[in-house]
Amino acid sequence: MNAHRSDLIVIGAGAAGLSAARTLTAAGLHVTILEARDRLGGRIHTVRQIGCPVPIELGAEFVHGTPRETWDILRAARLAAYDVADTHWFLHEGKLSKEEKFWEETEAVLGRLDQITEADLSFAEFIRRYCGDAPQRAKESALSFVEGFDAADPERASARGLAEEQRASEQIGEDRAFRLVGGYDRLIDAITIGLNPAVTSVQLSTVVSAIRWERGSVEVEATTNGTRQVFRASRALVTVPLGVLKAASGEAGAMQFLPELPGKTDAIARLEMGAIVKTILQFRDPFWETERFPTVAEGESLRDACFLHGRGPKVFTWWTMLPVRANVLVGWSGGPSAQALSHRDSPDVVREALASLSEFLETSADELAARLERATVADWQADPFSRGAYSYTGVGGTGARAVLARPIDGTLFFAGEATHEGQSGTVAGAIASGYRAAEEILEVRNGH
């Protein structure tokens, strides 16, 4: 059994862990980064396939709004990003119609969140109690938004938590979305280049099983490709996804804290891990740009459509690569729909996706399958080192993120999107949490 010593152990090499490590190694700390996967990036996972004209984003795909945390890195690295087209179509009663006021209708419902008088309630109950007079299509849009954008189950999602997130998103212009030219992993590359190699050790394929700690001392037990190792440091920064923190002892990817984390158990329980299944379909050609479909009104065309939304199909949101024209469609399932697709064989998920797409276009699923060249499925619930897509606040969970983020005895520190109030569920939130944790660690080291 090998033993390793450093100033700090960072558990998790996603955006939060790498951002913190970059700041800390720049300050001269000897940092060991432990990552269970065989790659960096965490829930940013870009793959490039021969014959596919665009990078495939299995995880994070969009830069939401203009948060400084993300854009400062992009500009410093001279990375380019482009605006995603903001054209939305909605499937309602078997017809696809272009929604010029998609966001306005959705926000009209979400705007009523500020009217809540109860301590808290679920978003589904909020719709029932506060939105009875709202147009049905607007309520469907809002439910699709919460299930899709927040990856949440409306029956479990906190209405008050969503209200707080809406206020925060307005401050960064989150209604705008961007893609990185060349793929989202370029951002991870830009962060990683900033690590000081003289004081940084990165251990991939290293699965942490236990963290023993007392004030001023941490011992981490892990396995690297079958070899048991022990890592020791004065402090540790935990950046694993909420789903891993929620995993029960003995489950794949679970970590045991010895002793247990004081004050954290309740906060972890009051936060929820959202479910997402992405199905990326590459067709022989972008037929939706040129052909007519029974669900689309006479004289209308999907040529410039970016997003298709619906409430019935299991894969209820689709998007194109616009403004880039490519033969790729992405199917997105969130919340309960994603749970229904999760942990199933990829061919089965692809069949469900094609069946859902056939509802949007009123075209035979078999015909769509005949046009298909390649399909890729990303099921984040089945990933033992993620166990879901990203976090959302459960009913009664207001304030839980701040509790989860709080350091323990100047020894254990916490970062990751689940610890950020306002930008949870985003890469920017993860980066910001890494910066925050790095500052806390440096303050302790400097005796403040």
End-to-end CA distance of the chain: 36
pLDDT number for residue 174: 61
DSSP code string of 137-167: HHHHHHHHHHHHTS---TTTBBHHHHHHHHH
Q: Sign of the C-alpha dihedral, residues 342, 347, 348, 353?
A: positive
Cis peptide before 323 (omega within 30 of 0): yes
Residue 446 — φ and ψ, nearest 5°? -85, 0
What residue has token string 């509802």? 359
CA–CA separation, 379 and 343 (whole Å)? 7
Whole-prediction pTM: 0.95
Q: Could you tell me if 38 and 204 are in contact, meaning their C-beta atoms sit under 8 angstroms apart? A: yes
pLDDT number for residue 397: 94
β-sheet bridge partners, residue 8: 31, 235
Per-residue tokens: 383: 């990933």
pLDDT number for residue 172: 57
DSSP code string of 225-259: TTEEEEEEEEEEEE---HHHHHPPTTSTT--EEES
CA–CA separation, 392 and 149 (whole Å)? 10
DSSP code string of 75-109: HHTT--EEEPP--EEEEETTEEEE-TTHHHHHHHH
pLDDT number for residue 218: 98
Which H or E element spans position 436?
helix 427-445
pLDDT number for residue 446: 83
pLDDT number for residue 138: 85
pLDDT number for residue 2: 59
Q: Could you tell me if 18 and 26 are in contact, meaning their C-beta atoms sit under 8 angstroms apart? A: no
DSSP code string of 56-67: EESS---EES--
Per-residue tokens: 120: 């808290």
Per-residue tokens: 320: 């194109």
Contacts of 349 (CB under 8 A, 6+ apart): 277, 279, 341, 377, 379
CA–CA separation, 238 and 348 (whole Å)? 35
Q: Could you tell me if 218 and 234 are in contact, meaning their C-beta atoms sit under 8 angstroms apart? A: yes
β-sheet bridge partners, residue 213: 218
pLDDT truncated to tens, each residue of the chain (448 aa)? 556 899 999 999 999 999 999 999 999 999 999 999 999 999 999 999 999 999 999 999 999 999 999 999 999 999 999 999 989 998 888 899 887 666 677 888 888 998 988 899 999 999 999 998 888 888 888 998 899 989 999 999 999 999 888 777 666 556 789 999 999 999 999 999 999 999 999 999 999 999 999 999 999 999 999 899 999 999 999 999 999 999 998 898 999 999 999 889 999 999 999 999 999 999 999 999 999 999 998 889 999 999 999 887 889 999 999 999 999 999 999 999 999 999 999 999 999 999 999 999 999 999 999 999 999 999 999 999 999 999 999 999 999 999 999 999 999 999 999 999 888 999 999 999 999 999 999 999 887 6
